[in-house]
């Protein structure tokens, strides 16, 4: 499953670890972690192995389900449905009852017959929901009756249910068609534990079975599912699908709708893209991308796609980003529909990567299931890696790994810097615990760790390992050992030497949480260096005994070759090693971790930092862009955690006037935005802005504010970052140019290039009149394009006027407007994260309307948005007035059903961290930027004097 998109990347990074997190990045990333808005809640859940068992007994196992569902959703969105499921089950050990799952289903009647024939026996269904187990227990009238071992039975259950309206299970969605009429559809979202809402079943991922699905619906509607239609058995209003291969229950899907589609075929595999009528012309990119990506993946794995067809469908209401139902993946519309004229490259990149993510699951998760949810990373980590790798293979010119580095990789490093960081493999049982695993560890970290090993062991070994894993375990369920064994075998097959058992090396990354810090000390006399490893946290005095098997390599100034990323050295679960044959001279810089593919941070001695800075200022392009980005990102962490002086970071940033690549500018943007968050109310803020303008000026002029045809994606992304930084720094031309573009749109409809809209709207709204604000606000309310709506929501939060912002945030609870449920929670975050006015307006809004806000349909399960928004807000509190106001809000909502007991503690933690941040960092930062400003004033005077001097000299 792709993660929930909360609000662009700004939220992605700010929610992660409150005060210590990053801020706005201009590219918005596809869906991320469901519950990341409240990292503190996660810590509260520590399942124990001795907890009562939530797992199904293993005495019976299913092999086939025949499911027949009847829905009248065409009838004005009628929610009632009825179902009959016949489960073929094998008895492993003799038993007097069968236990399966059900959720929110009613009116069961059941019977069982021997598969070999004989009388039907009435079965007594009882629902046992003790502690939320959701067990449907099927027992017999005759209490002495048992099902003997090694027998096979057909269990038939009739039941009734209602389509849900919270985007989970078998649910109702709707949209407005071209004539303005409301249209309804019924669709599914089962991961992790919602298949049991559509039909009683063994709802665990390892309990695979074949499914034969029949859907009765109005003849004017069509039904699609995992498999093609069984033409012989299908009649008008009764759609029967071919039987699936064996698969986990959560991957079953069906959609009953009036959707239309576009189709294509590559290598004998037919593919279709479905969405509501009126969007047909936006299906083509997803179709061609889907074909391209599927081909790249099946070639890479050396394992063909397993089903006879592959469909992708865009659903108007969708909780996650997308879902990998086998043969029928489902998406939010914004991750599927691409308008060739009006969509942004951000939308295009999202569609390409989200579709690649779901396609990769067709192998990782679908063909090879996970044995249990504790191994969620075993499918999500691969999907995260291949959402990039498949796109890189399909569109090498996109250089997608720079955006991976700026996105998933950075968010993983930040989130993982906590002493409480959970390991990738993490024991869970209950549905509520399973839901908490959809976090940056399962996605971003696992993807980054897998990519590290792909580079360290070489792509050849890794690819062969995956082929082994997929072929040995197909149609079965696997755990991490199956993967490690398959990679270990590949290393032997390829004669690839490694310093320890691959199984141990990989397990050191999956069975302990956290990220390593490598500390490098050079000996400038003999050219050697030592490396120490420890766990990295933002507290420099934190000590832990964690050790990893760490692959690494390095480049040096006199041989700056960053191409080969294979590991040349390892820290073999040892605290310290020294490296002797280095070729280093005292004048060379040394940089570990070529292309920054290893998952760790690296600190150097001060002389090496000086050499690196000098190298960057003189010849930045000698160092790989991802390394340049990581140097900035690491130094920010080291400076703000007291490991290096602030001057080390600030001096290094002065190379930026010569930087023209995306990943480093994205890292710089994060640093600048974070500093800005703390300092924007400072008396010496002007000096900070001056510094920012000095860094960005030159490249801003070079990139300009016009989107040009034929440019590479990264050029366009970089331009957006530069505009964001330049306007933040108060660069006059930036503010004038963006305002003029927005005004021209309002005045005479001069279109803004799609790729520049987010920056133009945001910066243009900062000092906009009500007319301009209303223009953009109405544009949001009128738009039927979900990607555009997201962009406008994010931009409206930039408004600088309290009344305008009040109107904006109040629309979240106004159910008479056209906002979708999934959008209603996304208005506050862009508002409170953009500055004091937005923060105070958001607090006031919630003070008055918290009950209404808290009771908005909480379709995503888990933490209520009221709770998570308050916690996220607290990460922006930097002065006493803000602190008091927020506390008033916390006192008001405390004890209500919408917030948990941890609210006060989470808020305090964030607010205190900010206070501490200011105590530690404000002084050194401000002192440095003030003297920088004074110094450059002095410098320009002296240059002026010099020029004058030369000039006069010449005259004479």
Ligand X SMILES: *[C@@H]1O[C@H](CO)[C@@H](O)[C@H](O)[C@H]1NC(C)=O
Positions annotated as catalytic residues are 358
β-pair partners for 86? 66, 156
Q: Is residue 380 annotated as involved in ligand binding?
A: yes
Cβ proximity to ligand X: between 739 and 757 the closer is 757
State yes or no: residue 702 binds ligand X (CB under 6 A).
no
Residue with token string 């499918």? 379
Cβ proximity to Zn ion: between 359 and 380 the closer is 380
Q: Cα(93)–Cα(100) distance, rounded to whole angstroms?
A: 16
Given ligand X, Zn ion, none, residue 55, with its beta carbon under 5 to 8 Å by kind, binds ligand X
Cβ proximity to ligand X: between 53 and 76 the closer is 53
State yes or no: residue 545 binds ligand X (CB under 6 A).
no
State yes or no: residue 277 binds ligand X (CB under 6 A).
no
Q: Cα(881)–Cα(262) distance, rounded to whole angstroms?
A: 56
Residue from 141, 178, 231, 341 touching ligand X (CB under 6 A): that is 341
State yes or no: residue 390 binds Zn ion (CB under 5 A).
no
Number of Cβ atoms within 10 Å of the Cβ of 946: 10
Binding to ligand X by CB under 6 A, coded x per residue (else -) over 418-457, reads ----------------------------------------
Q: Cα(380)–Cα(324) distance, rounded to whole angstroms?
A: 11
Residue from 475, 568, 817, 934 touching ligand X (CB under 6 A): that is 475
Query: Whole-number minimum distance, CB 339 to ligand X, in Å?
Result: 5
CA–centroid distance for 654 within its chain:
32
Select the span of 49-57, 390-398, 683-691, 728-736 touching ligand X (CB under 6 A). Answer: 49-57
| Side-chain-facing half-sphere of 7: CA atoms under 13 Å | 28
Cβ proximity to ligand X: between 421 and 795 the closer is 795
Select the span of 66-74, 167-175, 380-388, 841-849 touching Zn ion (CB under 5 A). Answer: 380-388
**CA distances (Å), 933 to each of 429, 522, 844, 936, in order?**
58, 33, 38, 5
With contact defined as beta carbons under 8 Å apart, do 641 and 517 qualify?
no
Phi, psi of 748 (to 5 degrees): -135, 25
Query: Whole-number minimum distance, CB 251 to Zn ion, in Å?
Result: 12
Given ligand X, Zn ion, none, residue 1, with its beta carbon under 5 to 8 Å by kind, binds Zn ion
Binding to ligand X by CB under 6 A, coded x per residue (else -) over 152-191, reads --------xxx-----------------------------
Select the span of 55-63, 111-119, 181-189, 404-412 touching ligand X (CB under 6 A). Answer: 55-63
Cβ proximity to Zn ion: between 448 and 553 the closer is 448
Query: Whole-number minimum distance, CB 788 to Zn ion, in Å?
Result: 25
Query: Whole-number minimum distance, CB 307 to ligand X, in Å?
Result: 11
Residue from 156, 176, 339, 698 touching ligand X (CB under 6 A): that is 339
Q: Cα(20)–Cα(910) distance, rounded to whole angstroms?
A: 9
Q: At what angle do helices 786-796 and 770-782 cross, to 10 degrees?
A: 150
Name residues whose C-beta falls within 8 Å of residue 730's C-beta, 6 or more positions apart in sequence: 689, 692, 693
Cβ proximity to Zn ion: between 387 and 869 the closer is 387
Binding to ligand X by CB under 6 A, coded x per residue (else -) over 84-123, reads ----------------------xx----------------
Residue with token string 């859940």? 45
Given Zn ion, ligand X, none, residue 383, with its beta carbon under 5 to 8 Å by kind, binds Zn ion
Q: List strand residue ranges (DSSP E) for 396-514, in order.
A: 476-478
Query: Whole-number minimum distance, CB 281 to ligand X, in Å?
Result: 7
State yes or no: residue 292 binds Zn ion (CB under 5 A).
no
State yes or no: residue 369 binds Zn ion (CB under 5 A).
no
Q: Cα(250)–Cα(101) distance, rounded to whole angstroms?
A: 12
Cβ proximity to ligand X: between 107 and 803 the closer is 107
Residue from 105, 383, 555, 787 touching Zn ion (CB under 5 A): that is 383
| Omega before 81 within 30 of 0, i.e. cis | no
Query: Whole-number minimum distance, CB 56 to ligand X, in Å?
Result: 6
**Residues of this chain, 585-614, that bind ligand X according to CB under 6 A:** none
Name residues whose C-beta falls within 8 Å of residue 676's C-beta, 6 or more positions apart in sequence: 23, 688, 728
Query: Whole-number minimum distance, CB 243 to ligand X, in Å?
Result: 4
With contact defined as beta carbons under 8 Å apart, do 31 and 862 qualify?
no
Select the span of 173-181, 333-341, 349-357, 393-401 touching ligand X (CB under 6 A). Answer: 333-341
Query: Whole-number minimum distance, CB 356 to Zn ion, in Å?
Result: 11
**CA distances (Å), 890 to each of 19, 43, 879, 883, 886, in order?**
18, 21, 16, 10, 6
**Residues of this chain, 185-244, that bind ligand X according to CB under 6 A:** 210, 243
643 is written with which tokens? 């490991």
Q: Cα(137)–Cα(57) distance, rounded to whole angstroms?
A: 11
Q: Cα(376)–Cα(480) distance, rounded to whole angstroms?
A: 10
State yes or no: residue 80 binds ligand X (CB under 6 A).
yes
Given ligand X, Zn ion, none, residue 57, with its beta carbon under 5 to 8 Å by kind, binds ligand X
* Residue 667 CB burial class (10 angstroms; 0-12, 13-18, ≥19): buried
Cβ proximity to Zn ion: between 19 and 383 the closer is 383
State yes or no: residue 53 binds ligand X (CB under 6 A).
yes
What dihedral angle (degrees, nearest 10) is formed by the CA atoms of 797, 801, 804, 810?
60
Q: Does residue 412 sit in helix, strand or coil?
A: helix
Cβ proximity to ligand X: between 429 and 906 the closer is 429
State yes or no: residue 1 binds Zn ion (CB under 5 A).
yes
Cβ proximity to ligand X: between 334 and 392 the closer is 334
Q: Cα(41)–Cα(512) distance, rounded to whole angstroms?
A: 20
Q: Is residue 357 annotated as involved in ligand binding?
A: yes
| Rg of the chain (C-alpha set) | 29
Query: Whole-number minimum distance, CB 309 to Zn ion, in Å?
Result: 21
Given ligand X, Zn ion, none, residue 944, with its beta carbon under 5 to 8 Å by kind, binds none
DSSP assignment of 812-840 equals GG-TTS---HHHHTTSHHHHHTS-HHHHH
Listed in sequence order, the DSSP H helices in 641-769 are 646-653, 662-679, 685-703, 713-728, 732-748, 757-765
State yes or no: residue 385 binds Zn ion (CB under 5 A).
no
Size of the site for ligand X (CB under 6 A): 20
664 is written with which tokens? 């480093």
Closest of 33, 139, 32 to residue 95, by C-alpha: 139
Given Zn ion, ligand X, none, residue 80, with its beta carbon under 5 to 8 Å by kind, binds ligand X
State yes or no: residue 376 binds Zn ion (CB under 5 A).
no
With contact defined as beta carbons under 8 Å apart, do 273 and 261 qualify?
yes
Name residues whose C-beta falls within 8 Å of residue 552's C-beta, 6 or more positions apart in sequence: 518, 531, 567, 568, 569, 570, 571, 592, 593, 598
* Contact residues for Zn ion, defined by CB under 5 A: 1, 380, 383
Binding site listing for Zn(2+): 357, 361, 380
* Contact residues for ligand X, defined by CB under 6 A: 53, 55, 57-58, 64, 80, 106-107, 160-162, 210, 243, 245-246, 339-342, 475
Binding site listing: 357, 361, 380
């Amino acid at each position: 499953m792709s993660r929930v998109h909360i609000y662009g990347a700004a939220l992605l990074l700010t929610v992660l670890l409150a005060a210590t997190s990053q801020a706005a990045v201009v590219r918005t990333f596809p869906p991320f972690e469901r519950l990341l808005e409240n990292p503190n809640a996660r810590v509260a859940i520590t399942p124990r192995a001795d907890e009562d068992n939530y797992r199904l007994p293993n005495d019976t196992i299913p092999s086939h389900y025949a499911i027949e569902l009847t829905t009248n959703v065409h009838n004005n969105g009628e929610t009632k449905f009825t179902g009959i499921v016949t489960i073929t089950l094998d008895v492993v050990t003799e038993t007097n009852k069968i236990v399966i799952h059900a959720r929110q289903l009613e009116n069961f009647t059941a019977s069982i017959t021997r598969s070999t024939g004989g009388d039907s026996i009435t079965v007594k269904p009882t629902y046992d929901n003790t502690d939320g187990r959701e067990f449907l227990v099927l027992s017999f009238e005759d209490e002495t009756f048992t099902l003997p071992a090694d027998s096979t039975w057909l269990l038939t259950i009739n039941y009734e249910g209602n389509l849900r309206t919270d985007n989970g299970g078998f649910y109702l969605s709707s949209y407005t068609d071209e004539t303005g009429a409301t249209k309804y559809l019924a669709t599914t979202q089962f991961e992790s534990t919602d298949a049991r809402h559509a039909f009683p079943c063994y709802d665990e991922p390892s309990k695979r079975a074949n499914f034969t699905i029949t859907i009765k619906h109005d003849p004017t509607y069509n039904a699609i599912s995992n498999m093609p239609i069984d033409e012989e058995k299908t009649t008008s209003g009764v759609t029967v699908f071919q039987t699936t291969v064996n698969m986990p229950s959560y991957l079953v899907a069906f959609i009953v709708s009036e959707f239309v589609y576009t189709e294509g075929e590559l290598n004998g595999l037919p593919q279709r893209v479905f969405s509501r009528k009126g969007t047909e012309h936006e299906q083509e990119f997803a179709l061609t991308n889907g074909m391209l990506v599927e081909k790249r993946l099946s070639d890479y794995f050396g394992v063909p796609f397993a089903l006879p067809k592959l469909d992708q469908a865009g659903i108007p209401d969708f909780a996650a980003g997308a879902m990998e139902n086998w043969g029928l993946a489902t998406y939010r519309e914004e991750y599927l529909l691409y308008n060739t004229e009006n969509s942004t490259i951000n939308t295009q990149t999202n569609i390409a990567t989200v579709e690649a993510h779901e396609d990769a699951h067709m192998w990782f998760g679908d063909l090879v299931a996970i044995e249990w949810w504790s191994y969620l990373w075993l499918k999500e980590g691969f999907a995260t890696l291949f959402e990039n790798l498949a796109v890189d293979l399909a569109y090498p010119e996109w250089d997608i790994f720079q955006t991976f580095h700026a996105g998933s990789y950075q968010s993983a490093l930040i989130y993982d810097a906590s002493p409480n960081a959970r390991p990738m493999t993490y024991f869970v049982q209950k549905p509520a615990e399973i839901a908490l695993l959809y976090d940056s560890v399962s996605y971003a970290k696992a993807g980054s760790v897998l990519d590290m090993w792909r580079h360290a062991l070489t792509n050849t070994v890794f690819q062969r390992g995956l082929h082994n894993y997929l072929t040995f375990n197909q149609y079965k369920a696997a755990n991490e050992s199956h993967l490690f064994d398959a990679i270990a075998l590949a290393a032997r097959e390829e004669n690839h030497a490694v310093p320890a058992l691959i199984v141990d090396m990989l397990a050191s990354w999956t069975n302990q949480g956290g990220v390593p810090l490598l500390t490098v000390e050079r000996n400038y006399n003999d050219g050697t260096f030592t490396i120490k490893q420890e766990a990295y946290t933002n507290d420099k005095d934190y000590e832990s005994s964690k050790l990893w098997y760490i692959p690494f390599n390095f480049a040096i100034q006199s041989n700056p070759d960053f191409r080969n990323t294979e590991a040349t050295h390892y820290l073999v679960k040892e605290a310290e090693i020294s490296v002797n044959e280095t070729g280093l001279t005292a004048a060379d810089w040394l940089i570990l971790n070529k292309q920054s593919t290893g998952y760790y941070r690296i600190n150097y001695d001060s002389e090496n930092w000086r050499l690196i800075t000098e190298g960057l200022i003189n010849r930045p392009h000698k160092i790989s862009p991802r390394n340049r980005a990581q140097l900035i990102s690491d130094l920010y962490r080291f400076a703000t955690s007291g490991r290096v002086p602030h001057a080390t970071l600030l001096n290094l940033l002065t190379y930026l006037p010569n930087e023209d690549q995306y990943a480093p500018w994205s890292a710089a943007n994060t640093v600048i935005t974070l500093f800005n968050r703390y300092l924007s109310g400072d008396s010496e803020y002007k000096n900070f802005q001056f510094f920012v303008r000095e860094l960005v000026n030159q490249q801003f002029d070079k990139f300009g504010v016009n989107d040009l045809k034929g440019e590479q994606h990264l050029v366009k992304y970089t331009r957006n970052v530069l505009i964001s930084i330049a306007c933040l720094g108060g660069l006059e031309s930036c503010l004038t140019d963006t305002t003029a573009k927005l005004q021209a749109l309002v005045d005479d409809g001069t279109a803004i290039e799609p790729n520049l809209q987010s920056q133009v709207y945001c910066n243009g709204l900062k000092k906009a009149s009500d007319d301009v604000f209303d223009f953009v606000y109405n544009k949001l309310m009128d738009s039927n394009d979900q990607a555009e709506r997201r962009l406008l929501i994010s931009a409206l939060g930039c408004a600088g006027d309290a009344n305008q912002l009040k109107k904006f945030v109040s629309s979240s609870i106004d159910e008479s407007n056209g906002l979708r449920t999934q959008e209603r929670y996304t208005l506050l975050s862009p508002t409170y994260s953009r500055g004091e006015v937005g923060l105070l307006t958001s607090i006031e809004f919630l003070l008055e309307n918290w009950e209404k806000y808290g009771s908005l349909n909480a379709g995503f399960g888990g933490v209520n948005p009221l709770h998570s928004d308050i916690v996220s807000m607290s990460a922006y509190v930097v002065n006493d007035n803000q602190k008091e106001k927020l506390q008033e809000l916390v006192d008001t909502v405390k004890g209500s059903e919408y917030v948990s007991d941890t609210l006060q503690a989470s808020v305090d933690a964030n607010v205190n961290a900010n206070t501490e941040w200011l105590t530690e960092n404000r002084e050194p930062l401000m002192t440095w930027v003030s003297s920088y400003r004074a110094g450059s004033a002095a410098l320009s005077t002296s240059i002026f004097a010099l020029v004058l001097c030369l000039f006069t000299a010449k005259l004479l």
